Structure 1
Amino acid sequence: MFADPQHRLIAFTRLLAVSVLCCLAFSWRLWVSRPHYPLVPLFEFVPALAFPFDYVLLGWLVVLLLGVVYQPRCRLLITLVLGTFGLLFVQDQSRLWPSFYQFSFLFLLLASNRRVDGAAGDQRVLASMRFVFAMVFFWGGVQKLNPYFFYEEFPWFVEPVTRLWPLATPVLPHIAVAAALFEMTIGVGLLTRRLRGAALGGAVLMNLLIFFCIGPLRDNWNNSSWMWGMTVAAQTWVLFFRAPPFSFRTMFAAPALHNVPQWLAVILIGFLPVLNNINRWDSALSFNVYSGNVDYAEIHMRPGVVDRLPDEIAALVHVRFGGAVLVPNEWSRRVFHANTYPETRVFKALFRAVCDYLPEGSAALYVREKAGWFFPKRIDRYELNGARGVELSDAGVSPPDA
């Protein structure tokens, strides 16, 4: 299919740029300032770009990506794309979705390519990218090996399938176990010679199933997620179809200093996701998606204060059991078609933004922390305490309507 590594890398680079453009089209509001949903900078001293400069920066990124499509071997364009993403991530950590985290890492590997290395350099970058893709599948499967995925998330996720082909409820958890192991096996198989063909076919089929379950046939429930899945399917095919066997020797063929991006891939993509299972590494950076086991939050408030909220937020508040509840996931899906970045520090920022409109003491944040390998889920209650910010007021509690 590809005459040599250079042609494969050029095709992949163009596909990567187009993939990012497609994902940006579905989530463009994530990349500009919003009137109510707050930006959550990685560092407090980082200022947010105000209108119209936020749109200018997004437009600049789009122009750079179009430039990469036209000139896929231009290292300057690739480096500028990487730098622009870095600036956008620092301004708002909510943008660090697994999709854009993976895309940015791929641009980092592309930026490490040296023309002087010729075909060997192209092979090194391609091998590094194959490692990244394999680890994304592997860790995606590992994170699903939990009872919340087996008994809750998976039955909900495959509802479009079970409506067409009804399955007995007791059977679904067993299929869920097989699905998680299957995704792990795809990751391992992509790096082997014998299993690569089956793993490649499995990767494409899995992402087609994701499209069926949460795409247009489910009222476009999560456009950003299924679009990422479809781009991953295409990218995986270009990277692995009739490709040479993977080897770490090829991946680390450059001089030591030029292997820094490869070592970052091994550490950040290959190793650190394991820490998510003891809640010491973010779920989004561990490719922990649709596992049924990520941090989840609700903002509870007195019903009488809902009318103080802007219409955009008030329309999402549910009044139940004598209280009013705002679910951040519903808010983020309304704003930029994806779930909230599932970490307590982001939930706190959203809670502070809501409390700006409410009387003091009229609302509380409940965060259900994900389970780890050695501890179960728990719910913590937070309150806004004036200048001291959001503080934990009670640990291990239940929300009032639980």
Structure 2
Amino acid sequence: MTDKRAPQSYANTKNGYFGTYGGTFIPEILAPAFEQLRCQFQAIKEDPSFWNTYSAILAEYSGRPTPLTFADRLTAHFGRARIYIKREDLNHTGAHKLNNALGQALLAKRMGKTRIIAETGAGQHGVATATVAAKLGLKATIYMGREDMERQYANVFWMKRLGAEVAPVEYGSQTLKDAINETLRDWAASFETTHYVLGTASGAHPFPSLVAYFQSIIGIEVKDQLRRAEGCLPNRVYACVGGGSNALGVFQAFTEDRSVELIGVEAGGKGPASGKHAARIAYGEGTLGVAQGYRTMFLQNGDGQMNDTYSVAAGLDYVGVSPILADLAEQGRVRFVAATDDEVLSALQLVMQTEGLIPALESTHAFAGAFREMEATSPTDRVIINMSGRGDKDIFNIAEGLRDEEWRAFIRRKHEQFSEPN
């Protein structure tokens, strides 16, 4: 396990702004909770023992560092850049989400909280939060949109088995943005005993910096691993972008290395003309607004009402984007593209059949974005793709997207078995 401390560039914002993005737009009742969180966040940044404890638990409990795998068959398939895959799918619970959930749960205990709450879309953050709650002896409630519960019921099952309460959100689009709203309502009424483990690098200050701080472990490892493997920096780094936690996790180690191009891949859904996507920046449809405690680029109408979003990947089905990433995009430091559902399903099959890996649908957006641009690379280039999670949770969605008739027949048989009287 590396003993390097987390990068400080995004953690040290004084007012919670990154350029014109960020801030703290919260109801007065939550002001004491945010003030306590800001003070405690500053304290742990100045306390090396906290980071050392965090790193040690990640190593002993979660299995970090996760590997950086050379994709030899994908590299041969394209005949261009040497492709490396950062294997966050091998992190405990199957995604990068545990990094942040563990860090915030440790912070909650430091603050004397006995309960943690969280929102989740794809369910990976919910599972990670339920897992660390069980590990550290905390009560947990997870808010999840009813639509996402249907899409990701396997994760709902595991959250409940881990001892967490899963609270369905049954208004609005019944997806991630609604789950965030409901979690904030809970926190407003319970913050004296409860900490909100926000799952992505968005929301009011200090959450974007806090989540980026804990996820920075990804990029710290990648930089060291590629230097040992190739003796150089990568030419390009690709990551999917919903709220932005896995992207910032891998990007922030390289933001000062101007030779490294950073590419965020948003959910293109059914395409730019369809209105069914979650591409805030890549399609140029996001506009500056304030919602859920912060200012960033949102998909919204002319009256500032949030639009419904869509993605085959529940974890990318979000109306806003991290204020840190919005600022990096405005600076030209991160380039945004979008991958459609069709491109994602095609990329998924290629990755499975060449590398024997099953990336989550969210992570597969990063693969799809990289594959589309592979012709523009050369054999001397090195490309990193952050595989932020594994695809076990997506088996129903993948089978449906691929129109797998054998799977449909299996589901019918299981339905008939469950319908039979005991």
Higher strand proportion:
2
- Rg larger in 1 or in 2? 1
Q: Same fold (TM over 0.5)?
A: no
Normalising by structure 2, report the TM-score.
0.29
Larger relative contact order (CA 8 Å, sep ≥ 6): 2
